[in-house]
Amino acid sequence: MTETETIAVAMSGGVDSSTAAAMLAHSGATVVGLTLQLWDQTRLAGKHGIPDAPKAGRCCSLDDVYDARHVAEHLGIPYYVVNQEDRFERDVVRPFVDEYLAGRTPIPCSLCNNHLKFDQLLKTARSVGATRIATGHYAINEYDPARGRWILKRPADLAKDQTYFLFGLTQEQLAHTLFPLGHLTKPEVREVARARGLMLAEKPDSQEICFISGGDYKQFITAYLEEQGESIPETDGELVASTGQVLGHHHGISNFTVGQRKGLGVSSPSPLYVLQIDPASHRVTVGADQELATRTLRAGNLNWISIPALTGPMRVRAKIRHRHEPAWATLEPAPSEGAGPEAPCGQVLVTFDEPQRAVTPGQSAVFYNGDEVVGGGWIV
């Protein structure tokens, strides 16, 4: 018997990861399908307006596990569901809730990628005898011998680019990860799925945060804290104009995100937007659209991919939220403000050529050089 490499594919039950599994199985690799069971969708169902029946297309819904199992059976590969609910709650859900309570706007997908999808999945994969993992992410991962580094690149289908959520991957993780869909467009992926006889080729994409059924994060936070026996911290406070003038009172900073226009509870002749949320004083500052624009930001908890470290100023294009078009900026190393254990990698100062709208603490800033991901960090 010849020993072929064993690859563990993270299967969510969606088209992308199913197609990735089909492509690898077809290539002759030994493939094992794994689904990470991350969240029990029935856990908070029916509480505080959260729908009773989770929609299909949520991660970890029974329908999706069924679909993934069906695909694995169709491909003739072994398939297992691995329970990681405890870790997911600790490393993703709890920080997500805490970030909102602290007046920031978190990205759970990046936390999940860093802590679960890659770190934990790679460990699980190795424990079952696989050497590498594969996922259905749209990204390209290549080794550059000249630099001696693994390089993460934007995929062929820029509309599906997921590199923004993958900036936290270490060299070790990249060295053991395959993105089989990186060179395909979404229509091509559906084409491959149909060609391989996958029943779910037409299944719609999932969009929302996977563990928030119904898509209302405020309902989720209320229901989660109640389940934990915790009360929602009192974070009500003043709503002020950028001039300092008090405009009203709000019921808690977790109801706001930078750039938000709706639900401010004040009337004004011209539209008002959230400019800033101060977690210490609970003060929420609002102002006109043009006041949202800023030229600089600081990011911490950095991870570098195409370079070993940032040693001097560097020209990049920086992306500050999922749907943001990367904008020209200059990176400079910056000493951490109040450097502590939470910011061991230092910080960078990002100065944009043109002011950018709604720089939001809690989101990531990801830096690109052409198609390559230079690195990224969390906006502070």
Q: Which residues are tagged catalytic? A: 112, 210
DSSP string for 149-174: EEEEE--S-GGG--GGGGTT--HHHH
Q: For the CB of residue 162, give the shortest distance to another protein in the complex, in Å.
A: 25
Between 35 and 255, name the residue whose CB sits nearer to another protein: 35
Between 85 and 188, name the residue whose CB sits nearer to another protein: 85
**HSE (side-chain half, CA atoms, 13 Å) at 206:** 26
Burial of 28 (0-12, 13-18, 19+ CB in 10 A): exposed
**Is residue 94 a contact point for another protein (CB under 8 A)?**
no
Between 124 and 255, name the residue whose CB sits nearer to another protein: 124
One of 48, 74, 87, 317 touching another protein (CB under 8 A): 87
**Is residue 90 a contact point for another protein (CB under 8 A)?**
yes
Considering only the stretches 125-133, 142-150, 184-192, 260-268, report the one whose residues sit in contact with another protein under the rule CB under 8 A: 125-133
Between 87 and 317, name the residue whose CB sits nearer to another protein: 87
**Is residue 63 a contact point for another protein (CB under 8 A)?**
no
**Is residue 170 a contact point for another protein (CB under 8 A)?**
no
Considering only the stretches 13-21, 121-129, 277-285, 328-336, report the one whose residues sit in contact with another protein under the rule CB under 8 A: 121-129
Site string for another protein, 11-50 (x = CB under 8 A): ---------------------x----x--x----------
Q: What is the residue type of 252? A: G
Between 131 and 242, name the residue whose CB sits nearer to another protein: 131
Considering only the stretches 126-134, 181-189, 236-244, 337-345, report the one whose residues sit in contact with another protein under the rule CB under 8 A: 126-134
CA dist 78 and 178 (Å) reads 19
**Is residue 81 a contact point for another protein (CB under 8 A)?**
yes
Residues with Cβ within 8 Å of 370's Cβ and at least 6 positions away in sequence, in order, are none
What are the residues facing 248 on neighbouring strands? Answer: 239
Q: What is the residue type of 28? A: G
**Is residue 70 a contact point for another protein (CB under 8 A)?**
no
Instruction: Evaluate whether 257 touches 100 at the Cβ level (below 8 Å).
Output: no
**Is residue 85 a contact point for another protein (CB under 8 A)?**
yes
Q: What is the residue type of 310? A: L
Considering only the stretches 79-87, 174-182, 208-216, 223-231, report the one whose residues sit in contact with another protein under the rule CB under 8 A: 79-87
**Residues 221-234 as b or e (16 or more Cβ within 10 Å = b):** bbbbbeeeeeebee
Residues with Cβ within 8 Å of 75's Cβ and at least 6 positions away in sequence, in order, are 21, 22, 25, 31, 33, 196
CA dist 17 and 22 (Å) reads 9
Compute CA 352 distance to the chain's CA centroid, rounded to the nearest angstrom: 23
**Is residue 69 a contact point for another protein (CB under 8 A)?**
no
Between 86 and 325, name the residue whose CB sits nearer to another protein: 86
Q: For the CB of residue 322, give the shortest distance to another protein in the complex, in Å.
A: 28
Count the site residues for another protein by CB under 8 A.
Answer: 20
**Is residue 191 a contact point for another protein (CB under 8 A)?**
no
**Is residue 127 a contact point for another protein (CB under 8 A)?**
yes
Considering only the stretches 49-57, 86-94, 150-158, 276-284, report the one whose residues sit in contact with another protein under the rule CB under 8 A: 86-94
Cβ neighbours, 10 Å, residue 328: 12
For the beta sheet containing 246-250, the strands, ordered from the edge strand earlier in sequence to the opposite edge, are 246-250, 237-241, 283-287, 273-278
**Is residue 82 a contact point for another protein (CB under 8 A)?**
yes
**Is residue 86 a contact point for another protein (CB under 8 A)?**
yes
Encoding tokens for residue 42? 């029935």
Residues with Cβ within 8 Å of 283's Cβ and at least 6 positions away in sequence, in order, are 237, 238, 239, 240
CA dist 223 and 353 (Å) reads 43
- Interacting residues toward another protein by CB under 8 A: 32, 37, 40, 65, 78, 80-83, 85-87, 90, 120, 123-124, 126-129
